[in-house]
Amino acid sequence: MTGPALGVRLGIIGGLGPLASADFYQKLTELTPARADTDHLPLVLLSLPQIPDRTEAILNGSDAVLKSLLAAVRTLDQFGIECIAMPCNTAHHWFDELTHATGAEIVHIVESVVEDMARGFGGRRVALLATPGTLSSGFYQDRLLAAGYEVCRPSAPEFQPLVDKAIHDVKAGVVAEAAVALKAALAHCRAEGVEAGILACTELSVMSREAMHCGLTIIDSNTALAQACLRRLGLISGATDLRRAAGLEANQAAGRKCA
């Protein structure tokens, strides 16, 4: 195949969902220090929205998602790419199996988040806004605890239903309604003393700009993953702190009320 001749360096397993992948691609582009087209990363993005529901597969122990992800990884490998990004947190449940199947580096979204927090977040108490599949798998909590963070769970019974609704609404294309639910979920975090809300589902990343006005620090997994990919591939340096894509630069100014 002619893929390697194209010189693409990054492979993206996307479409999980598509709006979240578009958000990732846009942030990757905006975070690249570029004066012209040629300064940008050559990449191939597979948008595969027919991959079965990740949360259902985790909760039911199905291997259908893994099979689809492996097919995507094998296809990307044929392009001769150096790194793979999956702008879907829940899919990282199968990270180890996927990593063993490729010579490319799969950039882990949670490690990207932890790197991002190490650079710009001085607090300790964080909350995960994530799918039931991600929460059940435990890969986020393990890495956050290992990095010294306290993972808080808001006690309000409506917290997780609000997160679920926000994710579902983005997938259904009603982002304005999703933003209302996300802001309500973040208000619960803030009321219980959480210092940072982690947008640990890339559907929520689509609303990172709206989320930053909720009076707590917002860590966006799509922004973190984009930064990590650009660092691995040498397009930004370790010292560069570029948060403009997610509009997060003013986010740590405390005290703004949730709209």
**Residues involved in catalysis:** 88, 201
Which C-beta is closer to its own copies: that of 50 or that of 155? 50
Pick the closest to residue 184 from 160, 168, 202 (CA basis): 160
* Cis before 173 (ω within 30): no
Interface with its own copies by CB under 8 A: which range of 69-77, 152-160, 187-195, 220-228? 69-77
- Taking residues 9 to 48 in sequence order and writing x for each that binds its own copies by CB under 8 A, - otherwise, the string is ------xxxxx-xxx-xx--xx-x-xxxxxxxxxxxxxxx
Pick the closest to residue 84 from 68, 102, 59 (CA basis): 102
Which C-beta is closer to its own copies: that of 5 or that of 239? 5
Q: How far is the CB of 258 from its own copies (least distance, A)?
A: 25
Residue from the set 60, 78, 136, 240 that interacts with its own copies by CB under 8 A: 78
SS3 content of the chain, % helix, strand, coil (to 5): 50, 10, 40
Name residues whose C-beta falls within 8 Å of residue 125's C-beta, 6 or more positions apart in sequence: 149, 150, 152, 193, 194, 195, 196
Q: How far is the CB of 141 from its own copies (least distance, A)?
A: 25
Residue from the set 8, 104, 152, 207 that interacts with its own copies by CB under 8 A: 8
- Angle of CA points 223, 148, 27, to nearest 5°: 0
Which C-beta is closer to its own copies: that of 12 or that of 114? 12
Q: Can you give the length of the chain in residues?
A: 259
| Residues 92 to 151 in contact with its own copies, rule: CB under 8 A | none
**Binding of its own copies at residue 173 (CB under 8 A)?**
yes
Structural element, H or E, at residue 85: strand 83-85
Q: How many of the chain's residues bind its own copies (CB under 8 A)? A: 47
38 Cα distance to chain centroid:
26
Which C-beta is closer to its own copies: that of 74 or that of 124? 74
Which C-beta is closer to its own copies: that of 78 or that of 148? 78
Neighbour-count burial of 122, counting CB atoms closer than 10 A to its CB (0-12 exposed, 13-18 middle, 19+ buried): exposed
* Positions in the binding site for its own copies (CB under 8 A): 1-3, 5-8, 15-19, 21-23, 25-26, 29-30, 32, 34-51, 53, 71-72, 74-75, 78, 171-173
